[in-house]
Chains A and B, each alone.
Chain A
Amino acid sequence: SQKIEQNSEALNIQEGKTATLTCNYTNYSPAYLQWYRQDPGRGPVFLLLIRENEKEKRKERLKVTFDTTLKQSLFHITASQPADSATYLCAPRSGGYNKLIFGAGTRLAVHP
């Protein structure tokens, strides 16, 4: 069955450092992979989408890589700030309107 794995343990980093979150998937051949941010009591917010033919995507302080051979995506936040503290979810997805399933998410805490 399809499986999405994200680090279940919280990631604690110092302000200004780069946070790196990992998403691994199995039994998937996603056409693209998405990353979301979720704050407590709120719905997820879309951050970035990377397609299978793209190795890397950037948006301001965010960078996502996608390795279809390793079946892995890495999500980086550079120059992290306390406001970046949240849970980050990945969602590999096939094309079309197939169901959207999320990993369990990794909680990031950026300390001043």
Chain B
Amino acid sequence: GAVVSQHPSWVICKSGTSVKIECRSLDFQATTMFWYRQFPKQSLMLMATSNEGSKATYEQGVEKDKFLINHASLTLSTLTVTSAHPEDSSFYICSATMEGQGAFFGQGTRLTVV
């Protein structure tokens, strides 16, 4: 099946710094990618829809200036958590879809802000 690679798999950063997470579709072109956040024992919460070559569409309550999304090519989307704080610590997951098929997820990134 299709492969989506997410990097890094885990990161620890200091409060106030920024962290960039990459999501790549390795063997297919993804016009659309999705970014999710998941807190322990909770469901996946959609943060934003990333569209290649255009601005991302953010879900209600998600700060677009804090969670910067760039989808510069058909195989790469990035999520940058700016000025991270401890409450941003979470599991971030990206996915890419192929029309009529299921979504393919990255491995996820465990972010810990200290």
Contacts and interface: CB of A to CB of B under 8 A. Distances in A.
Question: Taking each of A48, A91, A100, A104, which has the highest tally of chain B beta carbons within 10 Å of its own beta carbon?
Answer: A100
A24 to B, nearest CB: 15
Contacts, number: 62
A48 B103 CA distance: 11
A96 to B, nearest CB: 8
Interface in B30-70: 31-32, 34, 42-44, 46, 49, 51, 57, 59
Interface residues of A, number: 24
A1 to B, nearest CB: 10
B97 interface: yes
Contact of B34 (A41, A48, A100): A100
B88 to A, nearest CB: 18
B107 A43 contact: yes
A97 B95 CA distance: 12
A45 interface: yes
A43 B94 CA distance: 8
Q: Which secondary structure characterizes the binding site on chain A?
A: loop
Interface of A: 32, 34, 36, 38, 41-49, 89, 91, 96-97, 99-105
Given A38-B44, A42-B108, 14 more contacts: A41-B91, A41-B108, A43-B95, A43-B106, A44-B44, A44-B93, A47-B102, A49-B102, A91-B103, A99-B57, A101-B46, A102-B43, A102-B46, A104-B43
Interface of B: 1, 6, 31-32, 34, 42-44, 46, 49, 51, 57, 59, 91, 93, 95, 97, 99-108, 110
